[in-house]
Amino acid sequence: MRSTEAIEQLRAELRQDMEFIEQNYRKNREMSERVSRSSHPDEYEYAALGYTLHNLYNAFESYFLRIAKFFENNLSEFGWHRALIERMTLDIEKVRPALFDLEFSYRIDELMRFRHLFRNLYKTPLVPDKVLYANRAAENIAPDFEPYHRRFDEFLRSLKSDMGE
């Protein structure tokens, strides 16, 4: 059984991850504006936009990993990135509620796939249309995630309360 201190630590870590999500989301929106204002965005502008998408996904992934490690404490070595997203949609009876719904998971999955592509560009040029496609998945993603974050935090507070605090 988890301690009330461990629950408070998880809550603090998730709050901090939420701040990183919001910070990276703001940077993504700023770079999106720059690209949209440019009459002919160049490779470096698309790379900068891709970088913000990469960082935004990483911030979400950190949040999800904390939950998975705290409650389920296991992830397979193969395909764990996609499995992690899928796991966040699960309502695990007597363990924890789903973090978000399937519809939201599609947006996170798109960011995860783009992050993989972006991290593995070596001899292949960055395709602007792929950057823009992934960027559409990021539109309003932090504000849309905020209610999920609040709901999960409320679950954690209730869990702690049920433990006697």
Q: What percent of the chain has pLDDT over 70?
A: 99
Nearest by Cα to 54 from 134, 143, 125:
134
Q: Which residue has the tokens 């209730």?
A: 158
Can you give the pLDDT at residue 79? 79
Q: Which residue has the tokens 């939950």?
A: 67
Calculate mean pLDDT across residues 65-80.
84
| pLDDT reading at 29 higher than 60 | yes
Number of residues in the chain? 165
Give the count of domains, the chain. 1
C-alpha distance from residue 35 to each of 30, 50, 137, 147, 149 (Å): 9, 11, 16, 29, 30
pTM comes to 0.93
Calculate mean pLDDT across residues 116-144.
92
Pick the more confident residue, 107 or 75: 107
| pLDDT reading at 38 higher than 70 | yes
Using CB atoms within 10 Å of the CB of residue 76, give its burial: 0 to 12 exposed, 13 to 18 middle, 19+ buried: exposed
Q: What percent of the chain has pLDDT over 90?
A: 84
Query: CB neighbours (10 Å) of residue 46?
Result: 22
Sign of CA dihedral 136, 142, 143, 147: positive
Can you give the pLDDT at residue 75? 75
Q: Which residue has the tokens 């559409």?
A: 136
| pLDDT reading at 156 higher than 80 | yes
CATH number at residue 125: 1.20.120
Q: Which residue has the tokens 């292949």?
A: 124
Contact 78, 70 (CB under 8 A): no
Pick the more confident residue, 115 or 78: 115
| pLDDT reading at 165 higher than 70 | no
Q: Which domain holds residue 10?
A: 4-162
Contact 144, 58 (CB under 8 A): no
Contact 46, 131 (CB under 8 A): yes
